[in-house]
Amino acid sequence: MQQKSAMKHIILLLTVLIALSSCLGRGAEPAQPVDLEQIRERGRVRVITGYGPIGYFIYRGQPMGYEYELILRFGEFLELPVDLVIAEDIDHMIELLNAGEGDLIAYRLTVTAERRELVEFSRPLYFTRQVLVQRKPEDWRTLQRRQLEAQLVRNPVALDGAQIHVRKGAAYAPRLRNLEREIGGRIDIIEAEAQFSTETLISMVADGSIDFTVADEDVARLIGGYYSDVDVQTAVGLEQQISWAVRHDTPHLLAALDGWLEQSQRSADFFVIRRTYFHDDQGYRHRVDSDFFPVNGGGISPYDDLFRRYAEQIGWDWRMLAALAYQESRFNPRARSWMGAVGLMQLMPATARHFGARNLFDPHDNLRAAVAFIEWLQQYWDVRISDPEQRLRFVLASYNVGQGHVEDARRLASWHELDPDQWYGNVDHYLLAKADPRYYNHDVVQFGYARGREPVEFVERVLELTEHYRRFAE
């Protein structure tokens, strides 16, 4: 089976946190300070973020996004695995942070005086300004430039009496209240609930559901560019800092974050990430128009219905079966590995024949045989590993490398007085060791050499992807 791990040093576990705001009093302090030293003792860094078509999303089965990629790199810098904590909106992010549910907020936070009282901001990632998002007149294509400009709001004074919808918890409503005072007028500011993202509000301007919204200029230009009848040229404020945030009582974490940012901002990688997610209009258009973009209600893959159908047969969440398929073939039914594995689920021909597959390039036939193989593996391990969570890891590893190599690793674990029924730190350790002649030539080993890193990373990646998929697809 081919191994498709995207990371070597980081295991990203997605924690889907559904918490009521009333349970987490705003600004509440955690029981005791948790700075970088305590985070290292814990062995994981917990990062609060949000999801959307720029910061964190699934596209054609792959987790992606501006914040997502930077979070991975910060975890690598700290040499710590990352747990993602997903919040509903910015207010929720701050609540979670100050309640100790996360260590930092990795999101595009506008630095304001009010927020400085609640959190400690990092050095800025970049600067942007807030702009008005408005709809062009219906006949704008036939108008001369001067005529078009005359029908658009170019002076914020003209917003006196206007109704403007903005995302709740963002810095837009305070800016508009300041603008009210500056122009000596009245603006009807409607703060939309969390389910109405900035991206959604821009689309509502485009379709005529609302007249105006406000967005950061970089976001407005990217998303506004998708809608030809939307204008984002009118600024409603000066440039502001966009930063991440930590609690006030974590100076060492802040110093590490600032040091990483200072180092990263001099790298081409940092520039490429920003350009990928904020300046690639075509890439954004392809994502939004795709049938496989769950943020917009699309599916994970072309085979979601098949995954749902066959997952029931083995008692799996269909999203785990989808994650396994993505990890094996990137949902490519014509895929071939260098070892000879074929098709959507990357079955070896002999295995496929044994479990009834006739056409390995047919996704239905390939998946049916793969599920029969998984069912056999579950029965095999059911009588050997009593704990269901542990057993799942043995099944996944066996799917990738074969149960014989996994049994070798169990025997090595027993020989070295570790637990042969526990995956982490026990069997996985000796599966990795099977690439070393000191271990694969051991008397208890029956199946010889194995590229143990592949199945170990395969298990982690499938479980990680499953958590991502659960967040974005029902």
- Please state, in angstroms and rounded to a whole number, the distance separating the CA atoms of residues 29 and 249: 9
DSSP class of residue 291 equals S
CATH code, 304-472: 1.10.530.10
Phi-psi region of 290 (alpha: psi -120 to 50; beta: other; left: phi over 0): beta
Per-residue pLDDT of 141-191, as tens digits, reads 999 999 999 999 999 999 999 999 999 889 999 999 999 999 999 999 999
Name the architecture of domain 12-124+241-296.
3-Layer(aba) Sandwich (3.40)
pLDDT digits (tens, 9 = 90+) for 93-112: 999 999 999 999 999 999 99
Nearest 5°: phi and psi at 324?
Answer: -65, -45
Which pLDDT tens digit goes with each residue over 184-231? 999 999 999 877 889 899 999 999 999 999 999 999 999 988 899 999
Would the pLDDT of 45 be above 90? yes
At residue 195, the pLDDT reads 74
| Residue 33 confidence (pLDDT) above 50 | yes
In Å, how far from its chain's centre is CA 166? 24
The pTM score is 0.80
Over range 334-356, report the average pLDDT.
93
- pLDDT higher than 80, residue 23: no
pLDDT at site 91: 93
pLDDT tens for 391-407 read: 999 999 999 999 999 99
pLDDT the model gives residue 14: 45
Comparing CA positions, the residue from 109, 153, 151 lying closest to residue 132 is 153
Which residue ranges make up each domain of the chain? 12-124+241-296, 130-238, 304-472
Q: How many CB atoms lie within 10 A of CB 3?
A: 18
Q: What is the pLDDT of residue 16?
A: 40
Q: Which residues contact 108 (CB under 8 A, 6 or more apart)?
A: 55, 66, 67, 125, 216, 219, 242
User: Does 12-124+241-296 match 304-472 in CATH topology?
Assistant: no
What CATH number does domain 130-238 carry, 3.40.50.150, 3.20.20.60, 3.40.50.720, 3.40.190.10? 3.40.190.10
Contact 81, 87 (CB under 8 A): no
pLDDT of residue 296: 67
Q: What is the structure's pLDDT at 10?
A: 39
pLDDT at 318 over 90: yes
List, for residues 57-76, the tens digit of each pLDDT value.
999 899 999 999 999 999 99
Q: Which of 95, 120, 217, 328 is catalytic?
A: 328
Give the pLDDT confidence score for residue 27 in this predicted structure: 47
Q: Answer yes or no: 328 catalytic.
A: yes
- Asked if residues 413 and 427 have their Cβ atoms less than 8 Å apart, the reply is yes
Segment 272-304, tens digit of pLDDT: 999 999 999 888 888 888 887 777 677 899 999
pLDDT of the residue at 317:
97
Answer with the residue of higher pLDDT: 29 or 452: 452
Please say whether the beta carbons of 79 and 244 come within 8 A: no
Q: Mean pLDDT, the chain, as a whole number?
A: 91
